[in-house]
Amino acid sequence: MSSATAAPVRAGAATARVALVGYLLFIGFTVWLPANVSAKVTGLVGVMARWVSDAGIAPYYQSAVVFEFLANVALFVPVGFLLPFAWSRLRLWQVVLIGALMSGLIESVQGLMPSRYPTISDVIANSLGTLAGGVIAVLLILMLPSRPARSPRLVA
């Protein structure tokens, strides 16, 4: 009687998958909280925009729009970074597609929430963040030396 076993997962891939699940939970809690609660989590955008406005660099509203876009880019960089390590066969375009689809799902659910509203700029920013993280991961993978295959140990 034989049993089917799954192919072993590399330790690095397992670690990346666990980190990805944890990070996706963080994203879910951040983006699906009611707006008044979320403002306490994401209030850094407002603080930075106020600082730029008070310094006379740019008006508050323009600064807030730019910082919110950049925050959405930064939010998805870890997703793009972890996906290639979690599933090494993914191509960069597949990583970006996964990030874009995740962002589309997030925005769709936000459209059903009374205190939230979906925006296409968030999908674009999140997709760019996924791309940036994916490019960093690919460059890192290319720079790291590949590990030689382990030879079996002979036991006397």
Percentage of the chain beyond pLDDT 90 is 61
19-38 per-position pLDDT tens digit:
999 999 988 888 887 777 77
Q: Is the pLDDT of residue 69 over 80?
A: yes
DSSP state of 55: T
Which tokens in the block code for residue 28?
């879910």
**CA–CA separation, 17 vs 19, rounded Å?**
5
> What pLDDT score was predicted for residue 2?
46
Structure confidence by residue, pLDDT tens digits, 35-68: 777 766 668 888 899 999 999 999 999 998 999 9
Angle at 130 between CA 47 and CA 98, to 5 degrees: 130
Q: What is the pLDDT of residue 44?
A: 83
% the chain with pLDDT above 70: 84
- Cα 131 to Cα 118: distance, rounded to the nearest angstrom: 21
